[in-house]
Amino acid sequence: MKKKLVKQVTAFYKECFGEKPQHIILSPGRINIIGEHVDYNDGYVLPAAINKYVCFAVSPNEDGKCAIVARDIDGHYEFNVNDELKPVDKMWVNYFLGVLHQLQGRDGLRGFNIVFSSTVPMGAGLSSSAAVECGFAFALNEMFGFGLSKEEIALIGQKSEHTFVGVNCGIMDQFASVFGKKNQVIKLDCNTLEHNYHKADFKDYALLLLDSRVKHTHLTSGYNDRRREVEEGLAVLKQHYPQVNTFRDCTEEMVLAVREELGEVNFKRCHFVVKEIQRVLDAVDALEKQDFATLGALMLETHDGLSDDYEVSCAEIDFLVDAVRNDDNVLGSRMMGGGFGGCSITLVKKDAVDGLIERVSREYKEKFHIALEPYKIKIAKGTTLYTE
């Protein structure tokens, strides 16, 4: 699948620009085992890069022109490398402009030609946008020798999202896309960016994604609202507990004690955050002990919190989780990513995967008249230069 993508992009590049591209870059989407909506709350997350990629074919040029071709949507955008960059109407272009904006003025920057294409489904909560941002930053770094570290690439991707896309996201997606390792999940401390890897070996179980095909169009406003609510909540907690700097320092008791002052909505948000931060630590523990039943139970708790307290799920995703939670072959399931649509992630017995897909697809179709899209993913390496 990866090879086919590379071949197609390379061929299309030759068609567009009449020569072979100098570099091929693959930048993956991501999953997250647990730790949702806590990356911007100083928590921990447990993501991994997956074998779905945005592929870039790139070469520098000498005429200062930047030409970007989006193969999948037949999109094309051109500008000069020294132009003053501002967000534009074509959303896909902003992922590029936001990254370049941060690198303009660097020694060595010249014009470039790019063709890109993706097997990361868009709007499915698999971070296709982070894959584009980080892959493009990686490509610029490769072409012009900026000497950027992986961490810098991830941070540039995140900032681009804030400034040119308008989602005030945390660092999880970009970090996972850049730092992913084959068959390893990343335990990331979102406060310090310290991280370590844990073996993603679930023995008789597999991770299965079920794409609701509900595009998360409300994500931007819903996401930014949540950020505001937890910020307000944290300010109240800080007033009462001077020792509190971040949610990391908060206990459930503290949140319960100031419930009234927080108000019901902000209370629910803060309560979720504090519990989710702890759940990730418990999940890592369970993973290390290969206690997958506990891991699965924690995933279900996360889902209920995201649905009832953080209120970022939707009817379709709730349905997908409820459809599997009492299945004997399933240990856990939950909505994944920012929410308001996208995928669920389910820990299911390997030999029961196909049966589960068949059953849930049928039930989902009956209820919502939508064809479910299942993804059997593998955990893969982060953004990388492709060599034959």
Which residues are marked as active site?
Answer: 173
The only residue of 39, 309, 311, 318 in contact with ligand GLA, by rule CB under 6 A: 39
Across 57-91, b (16+ Cβ under 10 Å) vs e yields bbbbeeeeebbbbbbeeeeebebebeeebeeeeee
Q: Which is nearer to ligand GLA, 102 or 302 (CB)?
A: 302
Q: Give 332's strand partners.
A: 347
Residue 210: which of 35, 372, 347, 43 has the closest Cα?
Answer: 372
How far is the first Cα of the chain from the last one, in angstroms, to the nearest whole number? 14
User: Is residue 95 involved in binding ligand GLA (CB under 6 A)?
Assistant: no
Closer of 295 and 312 to ligand GLA (Cβ) = 312
Decide: is 170 part of the binding site for ligand GLA (CB under 6 A): yes
Geometric angle at alpha carbon 106, from 104 and 111, rounded to 5°: 60
C-beta of 218: minimal distance to ligand GLA in Å? 13
Give strand ranges (E) for 81-223. 111-118, 184-189, 195-199, 205-211
Binding mask 98-127 for ligand GLA (x = CB under 6 A): -----------------------------x
Whole-number Å distance between alpha carbons of 373 and 370: 9
* Beta carbons within 8 Å of 170's beta carbon, 6+ residues apart: 38, 39, 40, 41, 158, 190
* Residue 337 contacts ligand GLA per CB under 6 A: yes
Does residue number 142 form part of the binding site for ligand GLA (CB under 6 A)? no
Which of residues 111 and 180 has its CB atom nearest to ligand GLA in the complex? Answer: 180
Q: Considering the rule CB under 6 A, would residue 273 count as an interface residue with ligand GLA?
A: no
CB of 338 to ligand GLA, least distance (A): 3
Residues 40-69, one symbol each (x = binds ligand GLA by CB under 6 A, - = not), give: x-----------------------------
Nearer to ligand GLA, 26 or 172 (CB): 172
Residue 103 beta carbon to ligand GLA: minimum distance, rounded to whole angstroms: 21
User: Residues near 36 by Cβ (< 8 Å), separated by ≥ 6?
Assistant: 45, 276, 302, 306, 310, 334, 335, 336, 337, 339
Identity of the residue, 169 or 230, whose beta carbon is nearer to ligand GLA in the bound complex: 169
Closest to 139 measured CA to CA, from 21, 295, 13: 21
Contacts of 118 (CB under 8 A, 6+ apart): 52, 53, 54, 55, 72, 128, 131, 132
* Contacting range for ligand GLA; rule: CB under 6 A; set: 4-12, 37-45, 234-242, 256-264: 37-45
Tell me, rounded to whole angstroms, the distance of Cα 323 from its chain centroid: 24
When asked if residue 37 is in the footprint of ligand GLA (CB under 6 A), the reply is yes
Among 42, 133, 142, 173, binds ligand GLA (CB under 6 A): 173
Is the Cβ of residue 39 or residue 318 nearer to ligand GLA in the bound state? 39
Q: In angstroms, give the least distance from the CB of 219 to ligand GLA.
A: 7
Residue 99's closest CA among 89, 109, 330? 109
Shortest reach from residue 340's CB to ligand GLA, in Å: 10
Q: How far is the CB of 345 from ligand GLA (least distance, A)?
A: 12
CA gap 66, 78 in Å, rounded: 6
Distance CA 311, CA 214 (A): 16
By three-state DSSP, how is residue 133 classified? helix
- Cβ nearer to ligand GLA, comparing 57 with 137: 137
Determine if 135 is a binding residue for ligand GLA (CB under 6 A): no
Of 9, 25, 31, 36, which one interacts with ligand GLA (CB under 6 A)?
36
Name the minimum Å distance from CB 295 to ligand GLA. 18
The binding site for ligand GLA (CB under 6 A) comprises: 36-37, 39-40, 127, 169-170, 172-173, 337-338
